[in-house]
Amino acid sequence: VQLQASGGGLVQPGGSLRLSCAASGFNLNNYAIYWFRQVPGQEREEISCMTGGGGVTWYTDSVKGRFTISSGTAENTVYLQMNSLKPEDTAVYYCVADRYNRCMAVAPEGWTYDYWGQGTQVTVSS
């Protein structure tokens, strides 16, 4: 069972990146998928979520209108399309799968997500 995040890199402000989250060993359609990001020294931030099957999506205010979470072309893969990137989007991005197939803007204290990807670095800089 594995989640593999990829697609990070260096991009100029205003540019775009598409992150991928590929699952093996389980079916993403049965899981809520989250994207988190973390800057060293800061708390982890939940930025987007999609329920299994794509029925519900959620975004934190700072990325709303710029980022889009979706499932798509590759089997058992979820994407995060990031447009109009800003320097403050610089972080390590993680995809997470949870069998509680509901998007939670704030998880209950002590909540443990089922699977974490390894993280992919996104750097927005000129």
Could you report the per-residue pLDDT of 95-109, keeping only the tens digit for each? 999 999 999 988 888
Residues in Cβ contact with 22 at an 8 Å cutoff, skipping those fewer than 6 apart: 3, 4, 6, 74, 76, 77
- What is the model's pLDDT at position 55? 83
Q: Which residues in 30-111 belong to E strands, given as ranges?
A: 32-38, 45-50, 57-59, 67-71, 77-82, 91-98
Express each pLDDT in 43-96 by its tens digit.
999 999 999 977 899 999 999 999 999 997 678 999 999 999 999 999 999 999
Handedness of CA 92, 98, 102, 107 (dihedral sign): negative
pLDDT at 36 over 80: yes
